[in-house]
Amino acid sequence: MQVKVYESSDIASGLKMVKDELGPDAMILSTKTVHSGKLGLLGKKSFEITAALDSDWPEVEEPKKSAISGTYDRSFQVQKESPQTPTPVAAAAEPENQSKIQSEVDELKGMIKNLGQEMTRMNSRQHSIQANPSTNDTVLGSLQQRILDLGISQQTAQTITGFAKESLTLEELSDPFSQQQYLSDIFEELFHVSNDIFSTNDDKKQHRLALVGPTGVGKTTSLAKIAANYLSNFSGSIGFITIDTYRIAAVEQLKVYGDIMDLPVEVVLNPEQFERALLKLRDKDLILIDTAGRSPKDSLCIEELASYLRPDLLIDKHLVLSATTRENELYEAMDRFAVLGYDHTLITKIDECSSLGVLLDLQIRNKIPFSFIANGQRVPEDIMEADKKTLSKLIMSPGEGSVYE
């Protein structure tokens, strides 16, 4: 049996390739849709068809009579008889093989039937689109504008709309509910989140978490929220360390939170003191580290911060960004702070935004997962661990950033 895999832009051309090469007797073993490119589900779509040809023994012409001797050519006779005479073992296994082959044939018939139904559906959708080009363009334009109105960039909106054209029928594209469900599903697919950040923590392992990022994004307040939530959900103990000695107010603010929650606060001035503070708090289940805000343009200060948060110290680093920051400045911060090797992204101030489509653009540009979402100043209420459904809902419901379940 000959088995080959074909890839084409659509089912029809793929089947033509199979027929041209293997002939009309070829069997379709399987079909599947594949996507290529960095966008995963939104990447370029193609079809992969696996086909086979059950080749029989080649036809052998009848032995010719010798013109001289009047006898048959023995070489032809041997060739004709050889494949037709099974050995005793082969003859005994023949019923079992026939049963297996029949089962495979029945399975292939089912595959072919399903493939036919899929081709009918796709042809119907394609015919609908071709028969109504102006209507289709209008519907797609409306969908793209709807995406843009959510605060999503032009490039991302075009990509999502293009995929909708390939995935949905004209009827589905025209239905507001289908559009809503499609966008919700696509947004969830594109988001990356950090699931159960503290769930892997056990009695023998200390968790160290540091918040880094630009000035004024809410790192100290977010740290206090994380501490309060941890105390509510886990029985472990916590210690604070602050490296933010540039702002006296930040140190005092963290000390106030420490006093309220009865948690120790260590203030350090250099990497050596930082390591001693880690050693001093070695009995704590969680150490939360506050850092001074750094301008993304200040490479020297960011490198200085890296000398504290060395990889060998096993610190989980979260880049804190404000949703109110302009998009190009968010991208710059992500690029500049990359030298720290941050593991997660924490988004603050979503309650101050009328639209949150930029969150999706951030994920497409940089797939570092979101860890927490903060939407106010209250401690500990206004923070939650990020999840795909919530992020999708926030984008789909502009102006509701201050309310989530």
Q: What percent of the chain has pLDDT over 90?
A: 30
pLDDT confidence of residue 43: 57
Average pLDDT rounded to a whole number, residues 114-133: 54
pLDDT confidence of residue 202: 52
Average pLDDT rounded to a whole number, residues 336-348: 92
pLDDT tens column, 76-104: 344 444 455 444 544 445 666 667 666 76
In the predicted structure, residue 133 carries a pLDDT above the cut 90: no
A 10 A CB-CB count for 350 gives: 22
Let me know: does 402 contact 391? Beta carbons within 8 Å: no
In the predicted structure, residue 386 carries a pLDDT above the cut 60: yes
Question: What pTM was estimated for this model as a whole?
Answer: 0.66
pLDDT band for position 134 (50/70/90)? low
Q: What percent of the chain has pLDDT over 70?
A: 71
Give the sheet arrangement for strand 2-8, strand by strand.
2-8, 44-53, 27-36
In the predicted structure, residue 46 carries a pLDDT above the cut 70: yes
pLDDT tens column, 48-84: 888 887 665 444 444 554 444 444 444 434 444 445 5
- For every residue of 60-106, DSSP letters joined together read -PPPPBPTTT--B-HHHHHHHHGGGS--HHHHHHHHHHHHHHHHHHH
- The closest of 330, 319, 380 to 353, measured between CA atoms, is 330
pLDDT confidence of residue 373: 92
Separation of alpha carbons 89 and 183, rounded Å: 61
pLDDT confidence of residue 67: 46
Please give the C-alpha separations between residue 327 and each of 19, 323, 334, in angstroms, as whole numbers: 51, 9, 11
Length of the chain: 405
In the predicted structure, residue 248 carries a pLDDT above the cut 80: no
Bridge partners (DSSP) listed for residue 240: 265, 288
Average pLDDT rounded to a whole number, residues 151-162: 90
Let me know: does 265 contact 255? Beta carbons within 8 Å: yes
In the predicted structure, residue 225 carries a pLDDT above the cut 80: yes
Average pLDDT rounded to a whole number, residues 298-306: 84
pLDDT confidence of residue 104: 65
pLDDT tens column, 183-213: 999 999 899 998 778 865 555 578 999 999 9
pLDDT confidence of residue 265: 93
pLDDT band for position 354 (50/70/90)? confident
Highest mean pLDDT of the ranges 18-22, 103-107, 187-191:
187-191
